[in-house]
Structure 1
Amino acid sequence: MMSVGSPEGSLASWNTTSWYCSWPGVICGGRRHLERVLALQLSSYNLSGPLSPFLGNLSFLKKLELANNHLVGQIPPELGRLVRLQVLNLSRNYLQGSIPVALAESTNLTTLVLSHNQLQGEIPMNLNALKNLEMLDFQDNGLSGQIPQSLADLPAVQFMYLSCNRLLGDIPHGLGNHSNLLALTLDNNMLSGAIPSSLGNISSLSNFSVQHNMLSGTIPPNAFSNLVHLQRIFMDSNQFHGHIPASIANASNLSVLQLLSNFFSGSVPPEVGRLRNLRWLQVTGNLLHAKESRDWEFITTLTNCSGLETLGLGLNKFEGILPGSFANLSTSLVSVILASNKISGSIPKDIGNLINLQNLFLYENSFTGTLPSSLSKLTNLAVLQADRNKISGSLPWTIGNLTQLISLNLGMNAFSEGSIPPQIGNLKNLVVFHGESNKFSGEIPATLSECQLLQYLVLQNNFLNGSISVLSKLKGLEALYLSRNNLSGQIPKSLGDLSALHYLDLSFNLFSGEVPNIGIFTNSTAISIQGNRNLCGGIPDLHLPPCSSLLPKKIHKFPLVPVLTCLIAAPFVLVLLYRLLTWHKKELVKATDGFSANNFVGSGSFGSVYKERTTNLVAVKVLKLQTPKAHESFMSECEALRTVRHRNLIKIITVCSSTDNRGNDFKAIVYDFMSNGSLESWLHPDTDGQVEHKYLNLHQRVAILLDVAYALDYLHCHGPAPIAHCDVKSSNVLLDSNMVAHVGDFGLARILVDDGSFYRHSTSSMVLRGTIGYAAPEYGAGNMVSTNGDIYSYGILILETVSGKRPTDGGLRQGFSLREYVEQGLLDKVTDIADMQLSSLDLENELRSGNDSSYKRRVDCLVSLFRLGISCSQELPSSRTPARDIIKELHTIKESLNGIQNM
């Protein structure tokens, strides 16, 4: 083995000038065996290279701990010679090949941990020789074949972790013989058949997970009778059916019960209320029902669960009236999911008792009545989705008390005629507001301009009137839907100054006068203005009559010429140094031709990007300093990129901070120009016919995802300090001339300084961390920044890259997120949810050529990618796959694809 890390190496003191028993990580014996090495404890020593077979000569070795390094190659079978070995931990490396059969000869092993590697092949049949084994951890590899029956013959085993592999077939019945077993995790495999009834005999079991498999059958009525120590059970995303047994109450220590995305039917047994430690009850996506009051009894009994935090009942067949006892549930509740059912009656009037509620999903039901006044007590509420119901009455002014709201969706209800209250302006954190298909009247309140984080405003199909000029102040607005109202006056030219705006629907109103011809109004596919009879002018593609008052246009030059003082960053390489010496003599204005539209590349929430016109070597990001938090974004980006260096991160060439000729602040960042644009532009090409040639095959998509994973792994684990990007999405993945991906836009990034999986609260708690659809759910519940949040966004990015669908795509099944859409698709036919281009070009060509083997392997790769995306976007942050393990899985997929090419 060799060491890397510090200039001298982590094992620099391992030399002949010092006694080896004094070397770091080496533990020797007592007086009788002063020169006998008993343990090598070298976890997280930044070691690389292959494992030496000569380790097998350390015959007195009891512990070999090499976890969390960069070891490669195969596990040497010579380790089987270590007959005294008790602990072998090689986890979190890059080891390949199969698990050596010879390891079974180390019969004194109590701990065998090989997890988070790239091991393949089948689990050896002879491991039952390890009679002293207490922990068997093979999770997160590429192991295949069936679970050996011989694993049932490990009398001392307490922990058996086999999740995140490619295991198939039945779960061995004999595993129920383990009387000492505490944890059994088999999730994220391809297991089938029923769960053996014998597992119900393991009274010691506390953690059981089989989620994301292809298991079927029912849960026997007495399944939980003996599981008195069970604390966590994950059975979601399988094909289970039948009833949830009342014997669940016997598992009196249960804190997590996750059964979502199956085919469970019947009612939820009221016995769940006897689970006093229950924190998480998730049964969304089943066939469960409730109609009569007795069917809802479980809600009343759940009031006994004082620590309940999540209640998921969505996408089932619940009907009837939600009992008033719902308002008496635990004040610890954070998330309630009742969406996509047929629940009727009023929303419980005392729902405000649930004072810590942050997420409330009521959409797609039959709720009637008005919004209860007590709703205003939910001052922690971040997401309220009550669309597609029959809620009536006016929108109460107390809605302004919900100052933490990020997403408010009240669309497609029966709110009576009345104006949107001016208190809406109190919702300073609001990013999404849906109020479409109601009967709102009056003018759009001027106070709405105070919601400066608003990105999506949807108010079509109402009775709104008056001007819309107030909306020009919403600098972060990305999509505006106002069709089928009674809005009038001229279309404000200032809407064209909203650089983030990418869709505008003003159709079927009473607008008149000249249509602007700047900004979004220059793209006929991005606006809809039909049904306004008195409009004129605009770009030719709109085919409107000319305006009689239209005057000849003057050619406007960019009026604000910055007098720049460029703070040149230190050169990184000679090529970059040359580029700086030749480029910095030009003024930015000249370099971009006055920031002309011809050199415009794109825009985001805090800046617009232009390319340098002559060499196309650099891109200039000009900050929109009038946008709230733009200065903080500038500082965050500079601070985050000041010391990091990685081939898959965008490079800062120079930073410019000065004033323009009117004395206004001017700030810009100059980067390497990425000639192939963003990943978003390849996945979702424009429909104007100019970029129809863009196509990424599966090999390219995997390569891009691998590049992004390398970037995140560096940011999270290998840079000068851990950095959370906080805005991983396809538009921030940029492609150079060689299609190498670079992660950009560090405007929301945070340098993390505390230990642990979660870090301190952001100092800018008013800013939503990330983008709707990509942002981790915990960010909406308190803005806690962590590297786990990036992994969630990356998981959504995987699903988007392989499915070709945006996370906010309206074409998904109603009420489904992209993740749920993929989960459901994996139960049916994976090619139906893959990007149409992948299915039609890559897969069907192989079928037509008769290459069934290649077709199957490619489909397997799609399944693996989708499963990886789902694994990364788990709701619980601690359940998400870390970046280094993502890299291992993508390498495995890449190798499989390379094998297809060579067939």
Structure 2
Amino acid sequence: YTLPPPPPPPPSPKPRKGFASKNIERDFHTIQRFKKLITIDPLGIKKKWKGTDVCNYPGFKCATVPDQKVTALAAADFNGYFFGGRDLQLTGFLDQLPDLSIFHANSNNFTGPVPKSIGTSRVRYLFEVDLSNNKYSGGFPMSVLQATNLTFLDIRFNSFSGSVPAEVFTLDLDVLFINNNKFSQQLPGNLGSTPVLYLTLANNKFSGPIPRSIGNARNLLEVLFLNNELEGCLPYEIGKLDKTVVFDVGSNKLTGPIPLSFACLEKMEILNLAMNKFYGPVPEMVCDLPRLANLSLSYNYFTQVGHECRKLISKRILDVRMNCILDLPGQRSAADCAKFFSKQRTCPNERSLNYIPCRKGGYSSSFETSDQRSMAPAAAPITYNALKPHKLRL
């Protein structure tokens, strides 16, 4: 005895007249509900959210859903719309658009919690989230950890505070911008697990040392740590960042000599160590890096610069103002320098500061000069744009 074949699945419900798909009909109702929360609309955007063709609403774009082969809302881009409202939240909107892949909302007035259910189980294709320059506060928006398809996360210029969960550095991101918030903690030890290309943690209250694991973040092109409260000596592992073009730790409380491993940063164009408590001679090998366009060491306690470094000073590539270099103008007073050096200063692993990972043997003295290496013009850095609330082009 054989069972009869199962009945065919019921046909998917047809959209009401005027809607391109059932998905579009659903998204239409979500948008209309959200529209009522917007009471400040200086550009008159929401007035144009009329009719059933949401694909032509300003700020929205449609595409074909890969697994359903129907038209659906794929992107919402509210950058620079300056939307406002007494209770303008994304809960009930962002988490009700399950086909969305891109959500950009730079420069608006969103508040409240970031929706809890934006994980891949609900918003399956979400790979870009930009909530920058809004009115968010409270702890890190933990719900983004569930959005495991994300490649771009930008929450800069808000008032998020507390700590950043270590899991953020295991997300498969290309871009992580969390600058200009109020995060305060030591940097997680797994910082180097991040696969990001662009990392901006500037203008927060991060403290403690830069983790040695940073040397494992081998995709890093640009990293901004400036204007935090970082302390301790730079780990030699930074010298393993052989793709990095921009490295900025300016305006922190870092100290120690420059590790000789920095001689391995062959692609470095902008290196900023200004306004810290670094000391000792400036390594000639660092001044000999082939692509350096800007080396800022001002407002530290460096004591010597050699021939290669002096060439960069004359080209205005190297800034060593307000240090303790006796024969150069614009230096700290003798009393200021004497006071600094009256305390004994050491780094935890002094020997590692002489280790050069890209050299055969690690401590060899032979090293080719910049004349023997390929030169390339410095490209415009991207991440510095992230330090301006409204400006970012990737």
Please give the TM-score of this superposition, normalised by the length of structure 2. 0.70
Once the two structures are TM-superposed, the CA of residue 408 in structure 1 deviates from its matched residue by: 0.6
Q: What does residue range 199-218 of structure 1 map to in structure 2 within 5 Å?
A: 215-216=43-44, 218=46
Larger radius of gyration: 1
In the aligned structure 2, how far is the partner of 1:343 from the partner of 1:393? 20
Structure 1 partner of 2:330? 530
Structure 2 partner of 1:467? 281
In the aligned structure 1, how far is the partner of 2:260 from the partner of 2:235? 10
Conservation of the 8 A alpha-carbon contact between 1:512 and 1:532: no
Structure 2 partner of 1:433? 247
Establish whether residue 348 from structure 1 lines up as the match of residue 348 from structure 2: no
Structure 2 partner of 1:259? 78
Conservation of the 8 A alpha-carbon contact between 1:454 and 1:476: yes
Q: 1:322 aligns with which of 140, 148, 151?
A: 140
Establish whether residue 308 from structure 1 lines up as the match of residue 126 from structure 2: yes
Structure 1 partner of 2:59? 235
Conservation of the 8 A alpha-carbon contact between 1:351 and 1:374: no
Conservation of the 8 A alpha-carbon contact between 1:252 and 1:276: no
Mark the CA change 1:508 to 1:498 in structure 2 (over 3 Å): closer, same or farther: closer
- In angstroms, what is the RMSD of aligned CA positions? 3.5
Mark the CA change 1:367 to 1:501 in structure 2 (over 3 Å): closer, same or farther: farther
In the aligned structure 1, how far is the partner of 2:92 from the partner of 2:146? 16
Once the two structures are TM-superposed, the CA of residue 218 in structure 1 deviates from its matched residue by: 3.7
Mark the CA change 1:276 to 1:299 in structure 2 (over 3 Å): closer, same or farther: same
Structure 1 partner of 2:362? none
In the aligned structure 2, how far is the partner of 1:373 from the partner of 1:253? 41
In the aligned structure 2, how far is the partner of 1:358 from the partner of 1:219? 36
Establish whether residue 339 from structure 1 lines up as the match of residue 156 from structure 2: yes
SS in 2 for 1:448: helix
Structure 2 partner of 1:50? none
Establish whether residue 368 from structure 1 lines up as the match of residue 368 from structure 2: no
Name stretches of at least 5 consecutive residues in structure 2 with no aligned partner: 1-16, 22-27, 30-41, 61-69, 335-369
Conservation of the 8 A alpha-carbon contact between 1:388 and 1:412: yes
In the aligned structure 1, how far is the partner of 2:71 from the partner of 2:160? 30
Structure 2 partner of 1:395? 210
Once the two structures are TM-superposed, the CA of residue 348 in structure 1 deviates from its matched residue by: 1.8
Aligned residues: 313
Mark the CA change 1:180 to 1:302 in structure 2 (over 3 Å): closer, same or farther: closer
Return the letter of the residue paired with 2:151.
V
In the aligned structure 1, how far is the partner of 2:94 from the partner of 2:390? 27
Q: What does residue range 662-677 of structure 1 map to in structure 2 within 5 Å?
A: none
In the aligned structure 1, how far is the partner of 2:249 from the partner of 2:178? 15
Q: 1:509 aligns with which of 323, 328, 332?
A: 323
In the aligned structure 2, how far is the partner of 1:399 from the partner of 1:362? 17
SS in 2 for 1:253: strand
Return the letter of the residue paired with 2:230.
F
In the aligned structure 1, how far is the partner of 2:103 from the partner of 2:244? 28
Once the two structures are TM-superposed, the CA of residue 350 in structure 1 deviates from its matched residue by: 1.1
Mark the CA change 1:350 to 1:439 in structure 2 (over 3 Å): closer, same or farther: same
Mark the CA change 1:391 to 1:450 in structure 2 (over 3 Å): closer, same or farther: same
Mark the CA change 1:430 to 1:384 in structure 2 (over 3 Å): closer, same or farther: same
Q: What does residue range 880-895 of structure 1 map to in structure 2 within 5 Å?
A: none
Once the two structures are TM-superposed, the CA of residue 813 in structure 1 deviates from its matched residue by: 8.2
Conservation of the 8 A alpha-carbon contact between 2:119 and 2:145: no
Mark the CA change 1:270 to 1:397 in structure 2 (over 3 Å): closer, same or farther: farther
SS in 1 for 2:166: coil
Q: Alpha-carbon deviations, 1:202-254, whole Å to 9, x = none? A: xxxxxxxxxxxx8415469xx69956xx5686429xxxxxxxxxxxxxx9932
In the aligned structure 1, how far is the partner of 2:80 from the partner of 2:139? 24
Q: Alpha-carbon deviations, 1:366-405, whole Å to 9, x = none? A: 01112223332222x1110110001112100001111111
SS in 2 for 1:471: helix
Q: Alpha-carbon deviations, 1:153-194, whole Å to 9, x = none? A: xxxxxxxxxxxxxxxxxxxxxxxxx95889xxxxxxxxxxxx
In the aligned structure 1, how far is the partner of 2:71 from the partner of 2:19? 19
Conservation of the 8 A alpha-carbon contact between 1:395 and 1:420: yes
Return the letter of the residue paired with 2:289.
L
Q: Alpha-carbon deviations, 1:302-332, whole Å to 9, x = none? A: 44223211100011111111133332222x2
SS in 2 for 1:512: coil
Q: 1:385 aligns with which of 171, 196, 200?
A: 200
Q: Alpha-carbon deviations, 1:846-877, whole Å to 9, x = none? A: xxxxxxxxxxxxxxxxxxxxxxxxxxx7x6xx
Q: What does residue range 126-137 of structure 1 map to in structure 2 within 5 Å?
A: none
Conservation of the 8 A alpha-carbon contact between 1:334 and 1:359: yes
Establish whether residue 481 from structure 1 lines up as the match of residue 89 from structure 2: no
Conservation of the 8 A alpha-carbon contact between 1:359 and 1:383: yes
Mark the CA change 1:500 to 1:269 in structure 2 (over 3 Å): closer, same or farther: farther
Establish whether residue 772 from structure 1 lines up as the match of residue 380 from structure 2: yes
Conservation of the 8 A alpha-carbon contact between 1:252 and 1:274: no
Structure 2 partner of 1:791? none
Conservation of the 8 A alpha-carbon contact between 1:455 and 1:477: yes
Q: 1:626 aligns with which of 362, 372, 378?
A: 372
Q: What does residue range 786-797 of structure 1 map to in structure 2 within 5 Å?
A: none
SS in 1 for 2:226: coil
SS in 2 for 1:376: helix
Return the letter of the residue paired with 1:439.
K
Q: Alpha-carbon deviations, 1:238-278, whole Å to 9, x = none? A: xxxxxxxxxxxxx9932111111012121212442232222
Name stretches of at least 5 consecutive residues in structure 1 with no aligned partner: 1-177, 183-199, 202-213, 237-250, 516-528, 535-623, 634-726, 728-769, 778-807, 821-872, 876-903
Q: What does residue range 164-183 of structure 1 map to in structure 2 within 5 Å?
A: 179=18
Return the letter of the residue paired with 2:379.
T
Return the letter of the residue paired with 2:131.
L
Q: What does residue range 723-742 of structure 1 map to in structure 2 within 5 Å?
A: none
Return the letter of the residue paired with 1:626.
Q
Identity %: 23
Conservation of the 8 A alpha-carbon contact between 1:252 and 1:277: no
In the aligned structure 1, how far is the partner of 2:20 from the partner of 2:71? 18
Mark the CA change 1:506 to 1:301 in structure 2 (over 3 Å): closer, same or farther: same
Mark the CA change 1:319 to 1:813 in structure 2 (over 3 Å): closer, same or farther: same
Establish whether residue 273 from structure 1 lines up as the match of residue 75 from structure 2: no
In the aligned structure 2, how far is the partner of 1:217 from the partner of 1:225? 14
Conservation of the 8 A alpha-carbon contact between 1:378 and 1:402: yes
Conservation of the 8 A alpha-carbon contact between 1:476 and 1:500: no
SS in 2 for 1:254: strand
